[in-house]
Amino acid sequence: MLEDFVRAVESRQAQAAEMLACLRALRAGFDALKANAEQVLAQLPRPGAPGSPSDGLMDRFLRFHQQQPAPDLAGVLTARLAEWQASGASEDCPLPELYRRAGGGPTVGAFHDALRRLHAAGRIYLHPWTGPLHALPEPPFALLVGHEIAYYASVRQC
């Protein structure tokens, strides 16, 4: 029984040595990351130094967004959908086409968020893709709404 105990301790000792080697490698990686970060920080202007802004990153971020007014994406989308329907199109507007008509400026995520808000507000209809999924053209523009994959939109007529 004592021999079994010694073997178990030796086995655990080998595992501990392996774990220690992994921790040393991890520490070396962290040290390398720290050294790289210090090199980058050394090249950045210090707050209060001549010719450098004295504000932090958050202040710069807020100032940047204040300079660029956010577009009324919901208004643009509803206008483009109204134009689509007024053109006599016989089908609902495919989402990739709506994205392109919206100027392609917003990210696909912002486009989807605006569509969800318009749908939730009852201003547009989102229509599902009814074909097989492998036949879905331009899948990044498809939008999951509930249990359906929306691929077309139309303006809700009040």
pLDDT digits (tens, 9 = 90+) for 107-136: 888 889 999 999 999 999 999 999 999 999
Parent domain of 33: 2-67
The whole-number pLDDT of residue 57 equals 72
The whole-number pLDDT of residue 99 equals 92
Pick the last residue of a domain from 41, 67, 93.
67
Q: What angle do CA 62, 63, 66 make, to 5 degrees?
A: 90
62 with 77, same domain? no
How far apart (Å, rounded) are the C-alpha atoms in residues 150 and 127? 5
23 with 81, same domain? no
The whole-number pLDDT of residue 66 equals 66
Domain count across the chain: 2
- Positions of the chain with pLDDT lower than 50, given as ranges: 50-51
What's the CATH number where 98 sits?
A: 1.10.10
**Is this prediction's pTM over 0.85?**
no
The whole-number pLDDT of residue 43 equals 76
DSSP SS3 for 154: strand
Q: Work out the end-to-end distance of the chain between its first and last CA atoms, rounded to an integer number of angstroms.
A: 85
The whole-number pLDDT of residue 123 equals 92
Considering only CA atoms, which of 127, 124, 100 is closest in space to residue 111? 100
Pick the last residue of a domain from 16, 38, 67.
67
